[in-house]
Amino acid sequence: MSIKSCLIAGATGLTLIWGSSAMAEDTSDFPAGPLQFLVAAGAGGGTDNFARTVKPMLEKTLDTRITVINLPSASGALAHQRTANSKADGHTLDFASSTLVTSLAAGQNPTGLDQLTPVARMQSDVMTLIVDPDKYPDFAAFKAHAEANPGKVIIGGTHAASPDRMAFLSFADASGLDMTFIPYDEEGSVAANVMGGNIDGMFGEISSVLSYMESGEMMPILVFAEERLSNFPDIPTTVENGWDLTDGNERGIFVNAETPDTIVDALENALKTVYDSEEYQQYEERVNLHYREGWLGSTDYRQKLEENYELYKRLLENT
């Protein structure tokens, strides 16, 4: 080969290399391929619905294909672990609920906020105390009964290291009431026990209890919020009772902590577009998640998560 062709070949090669490395850092090319949603929950549940609803919307916004994989094992710990070990290019997204932090505080989930970066929170559900209205017509009645019968009042919830249990622990801690908590495997079992009169109450999200409210089988008597919900002005709040308890179950999206900031920002913006869309807002209304503003950006969400983590750790240590 002549020297001229060598030089041309060499130059072309170098150009290609330089060009492709430049492209790799150019986030206007994000996403470079299909995305993967890892759902830290089983199919059919709230988090799964959330992921599958966002999927087509994000596909449109980012002009890419998305596959959804459910990894419910260990309260979602497997999903968190896989995301933390995935390529830090923002193509693997972890859809999780507050269970990430609760199981982290309980030691079941080894993957924490040092390995995962929160991109955004999109749902904030309102936690409520739910009882059989025939037994306790309102919160005052419940409180009176609990004070008169220490240790005899039984509250149910799902799983031992969950938002339900955190709600119970923080409520018991703040109110000083002596109650017992029984964890069940599914929300259905808890509801059945409340309706059957076998336990005194349960902690649950307001979104899941609405149909029971209409039929009168179950009723929330206390909401964990700063102000009374506009649709339910009769239900007192924790705050007006003097307890600063406003946490509910939240759902958001996480990526590998090593993902470059530019990509995280790109994702955050894309998700905000989805959140603000008419379609998404309608979905929230349909599943009754619109009682509280869901959106929190990456920095704010991280801060909230860290606060929650400290709180849950403290509560669990006290048991």
Partner 1 sequence: MLDSFLAGLSVVLQPMNLLILTSAVFIGFIGGALPGISGVILVVILLPVTYGMEPTQAFMLLTAIYGSTVFSGLITAILYRAPGTPEAVMTSFDGYPMTQQGEAGKALGIGILSSAVGGLVGTIALIVCTPLLASVALKFSSPEYFALAILGLTVVASLGGRLILGLIGAAMGLFIATIGIDPLTGVSRYTFGNLNLSEGVGLIPVIVGLFAVSEVMKRSLDGEVHQPPTRVKVKIFDMPILRKIGVTLSRSSLLGVIIGILPGIGASTAAMVSYSETVRWSKHPEQFGKGAAEGIAAPESANNAAAMGALVPLFALGIPGSGTTAIILGAFIMHGLQPGPLFMMTSADLIYAVFAGLFIVNFMILAFSKPFIALFTRLLNVPYSVLGPIIIMCCIVGTYSVSNSMFDVWLMLGFGVLGYLLEKIDFPTVSIILGLVLGPIAESELRRTLSMSQGDLSILLSRPISATLLIISVVLLVAAIAVPLRKRARIRATASRS
Distance CA 153, CA 175 (A): 14
- Site for partner 1 (CB under 8 A): which residue of 27, 59, 64, 78? 78
β-pairing verdict for 219-223 and 127-131: antiparallel
Residue 163 structure tokens: 């938002």
- Tell whether residue 36 is a contact of partner 1 (CB under 8 A): no
Between 196 and 242, CB nearer to partner 1? 196
State in angstroms the smallest separation of the CB of 127 from partner 1.
18
Between 198 and 241, CB nearer to partner 1? 198
Whose structure tokens read 């004070």?
147
State in angstroms the smallest separation of the CB of 52 from partner 1.
7
State in angstroms the smallest separation of the CB of 86 from partner 1.
14
Torsion of CA 190, 196, 197, 199, to 10 degrees: -20
Residue 2 structure tokens: 């002549």
Query: What element of type H or E holds 222?
Result: strand 219-223
Residue 100's nearest CA partner among 91, 108, 92, 90 is: 108
State in angstroms the smallest separation of the CB of 251 from partner 1.
14
Fill in the per-residue mask, 231 to 270: x = in contact with partner 1 (CB under 8 A), - = not in contact.
----------------------------------------
Distance CA 106, CA 100 (A): 10
Residue 91 structure tokens: 């193509």
- Tell whether residue 135 is a contact of partner 1 (CB under 8 A): no
- Site for partner 1 (CB under 8 A): which residue of 168, 212, 254, 275? 212
The number of residues that bind partner 1 (CB under 8 A) is 53
- Tell whether residue 203 is a contact of partner 1 (CB under 8 A): no
| Cis bond upstream, residue 137 (ω within 30) | no
Residue 75 DSSP label: G
- Tell whether residue 210 is a contact of partner 1 (CB under 8 A): yes
Largest CA distance in the chain: 99
Q: Site residues (CB under 8 A) for partner 1?
A: 42-46, 48-49, 52-53, 68-75, 77-78, 81, 103, 106-108, 151-152, 154, 159-161, 180, 182-186, 188-189, 191-193, 195-196, 198-199, 210-212, 214-215, 217, 286-287
